[in-house]
Amino acid sequence: MTGSSSSGAAASERNFGPLVLLGGVADRLPPISPDCRVRHFRADAAAPDADVLIVDAAHADPDLLSWLAQPEQADLPVIVLADADSADRVGGLLGARIAAFLAPDCSSDELDRAIRQALRRDGVADVSRLLADRLEALRREAERMAAIVDELTAEANLAVRRPVDAPRIRAHIKARRLRERFFDPGLFADPAWDILLDLAAARLEGREVSVSSLCIAAAVPTTTALRWIKAMVDRGLLERAPDPDDARRAFIRLAPATARRMEECLEAVFNVPGL
């Protein structure tokens, strides 16, 4: 592989460019820039001074996940290669400081840009900032709608309100998907809301949701969905629940505060007069 070096490289090698550590990476990884020094992860002799870790989610093993979970690796930027088939394996990596999600068949240019971005210590954080603004706007709108519904309900002296239940949420999701029959799906892409809706319905159904299932619900490319899931986990909106049958997997749930806010928001939406 381009730029490879031995595992016994001296610390002085850091003068020759960033050290890229490969963990569970298949041979299909495109060539890495010759400006980088590349080493393969070994559980018994991992590079403590790595600048970037590249992980193929499909081949991440327990040894790598255990090493990555150590406190001394908390600041190590991680580039994750994942697609629809390996999305569930990302669950075990969501606690890491992920700088980018890429498709396993990404180009050399895409990989090089991701490495440079990781070295700048940004990436997924950009999505997190966007998410924060969008969710704050959603919170304000939900509060406004709830106030209007309460006022109109009181004026009309209505005793019956439509409850927030799983079938109604699923019908709402289905209605959102119907738009795609008439318009370009990209026009309505809103992965954060689709993720929240799917998890709200699953919570009421008493069902666990895998990462791959949530990626499908987000209705965007897998790597885009993974970026949103990671950002929402980092902000405490979502929680990871380990899969008891596979340490490399994790289920995703609404955090308790998020669940309460979703119930309030959906109650307001479902009880808008005239709908």
In terms of domains, do 87 and 167 share one? no
In terms of domains, do 98 and 190 share one? no
Beta strands in the chain (DSSP E): 19-23, 37-40, 52-56, 77-81, 97-102, 238-243, 246-254
Rg over alpha carbons for the chain, rounded to the nearest Å, is: 22
**Domain termination site, one of 122, 143, 171:** 122
Using one digit for the tens of pLDDT, what is the confidence trace for 39-97? 888 877 766 688 999 999 998 888 899 898 888 888 899 999 999 999 999 998 998 99
Helix (H, G, I), strand (E, B) or coil at 239: strand
Q: How many domains are contained in the chain?
A: 2
In terms of domains, do 145 and 118 share one? no
Task: Give the integer Cα–Cα distance in Å for 131 and 134.
Answer: 5
In terms of domains, do 264 and 163 share one? yes
Q: Tell me the average pLDDT of the chain.
A: 83
pTM of the model: 0.78
**Domain termination site, one of 122, 151, 178:** 122
Angle (deg, nearest 10), helices 256-270 and 191-205: 100
CA 87 to chain CA centroid, Å, is 10
